[in-house]
A and B are shown apart, each in its own frame.
Chain A
Amino acid sequence: MIRTAWLVLKKDLTVEVRSLEIAYTTLFFAVSCILFFAFALVKEGKAPEDGAAGILWIAIAFGGTLALGRTFERERQSETLRALLMAPAARPAIYVGKLLGIVALLAAAEVVLVPLVAFLFQAPLLSHPFWLAAVLLSGTIGFAAVGTLFSAMLVRARSRDVLLPVLLYPITVPVIIAGVRATAALLQPDVELALVRFWVALLIALDVVFVTLALWTFEPLMTD
């Protein structure tokens, strides 16, 4: 099971590294989002309170949607989806492999986005690197867990590009809220770590719920 997930992940990363298509488009889109918000909101070098936290997460959510839409679309275009599903591999393992691929991709994007937001909004984002990494990782897993499931299911649906955000955003609202609140708490002049810890705990709880539900439903949703 772990081996299969690892193989799926390795395959996805190999394909991605050869073209870097998803990485570049996602990153470019997320960076443009941040720039728009910086034009609109930063006046004379002063950003609105908690703006940086919200905009970082908007960029991750928007960029992530783009990346999620592409991962399974690629399988469909090269007609490898059937091969992937016919392979003697447990469905949950395929899901986990895909999920890890998305998380790795978004984590790589965040490495660029965080310093950019910190720079444009003059936010002390890097003052607690460990906690920020915990918030970003747990939030990204929650977002990607739902996203991977739905983008896989949408592969066969009509108007899938429109439907992915429609499905994804209502369900990931709690993840985004918890992520934004935790990041905003980290940006305060004197950080209340108890508050950050609370939001990270909530994010991890959401991750557990979402991943469990996704593993449970991935199999019946991907058959036929």
Chain B
Amino acid sequence: MPKWFVPLAAATALMFAASPFLIANAPYEATMGLVQKIFYYHLPSAWVFLLSAIVCGIASARFLFGGSPRQDRLAYAAAELTVLFGAIVLVTGPLWARKAWGVWWQWDVRLTSSLMGWMVAWAYLLVRKYGGPGSDKLAAGLALFGMANVPFVYISVNYWRTIHPATSVVPTLPVDMGVALWFAVACFLLLFVLLLRLRVYLEEQRARLDALYLSLDE
């Protein structure tokens, strides 16, 4: 593991411990009140969810056209994180929606495309696990489709009339809310980087072990 890992992990843990206080101190939103505070974790996890789908897609493309197993390990790690952060988005979203819209779920463009991106990441993991030999390339092809979905998720709220808030909300936030939000974004980004590094490290060790077993057989 690199030297920065443990200090950064400690710093991230401290930041995550601090962020609820910032969120609690941020002003209440006029119409939604307390539930609006879910937003401070919902939006950062959604960004990281999309980011990790992009990382997975780019690494897959490089694996597919370059053939480097390092990129493949990165893509695998990113796909697992896409599932993880997607799960946070899809749990926090309905909790908020129940209060704000009165329903848990709506077949709205952004919700549907996010769910689809999450399912693609699941399919990626299923293929990797049960596909047998050659499934790494197959999964990489799938990841490209998952990445193609990302811009669609992002712009969907601005092009369709949906009930999900548009992307223009973020720059217009009051300062106190903005500070809490950007702090949470930093927390989630750091968490993503740490988990990604840890997961890639695990895959590297696994690859080394496989190589050792192979050389033992010969």
Contacts and interface: CB of A to CB of B under 8 A. Distances in A.
B135 A167 contact: no
Contacts of B132: 157-159
B126 A163 contact: yes
B137 A221 contact: yes
B171 interface: no
A150 interface: yes
Interface in B111-157: 112-113, 115-116, 119-120, 122-123, 126-127, 130-135, 137-138, 141-142, 144-145, 148, 152
Contacts of A177: 107, 112
Interface in A144-179: 146, 149-150, 153-154, 156-159, 162-163, 166-167, 169-171, 173-174, 177
B123 A166 contact: yes
| Interface of B: prevailing SS | helix
B138 A171 contact: no
A100 B120 CA distance: 25
State which size class the interface on B falls in. Answer: 20 to 34
Nearest to A223: B137
A217 B130 contact: no
A213 interface: yes
A209 interface: yes
Contacts, number: 77
A224 B137 CA distance: 11
A220 B113 CA distance: 27
A179 B81 CA distance: 31
B127 A166 contact: yes
Given A157-B132, A158-B132, A159-B131, A217 B119 contact: no
Q: Provide the main secondary structure of the chain A interface.
A: helix
A170 B113 contact: no
B131 A171 contact: no
B120 A221 contact: no
Contact of B113 (A166, A174, A224): A174
Interface of B: 64-65, 107, 112-113, 115-116, 119-120, 122-123, 126-127, 130-135, 137-138, 141-142, 144-145, 148, 152
Interface of A: 146, 149-150, 153-154, 156-159, 162-163, 166-167, 169-171, 173-174, 177, 209-210, 213, 216-217, 220-221, 224
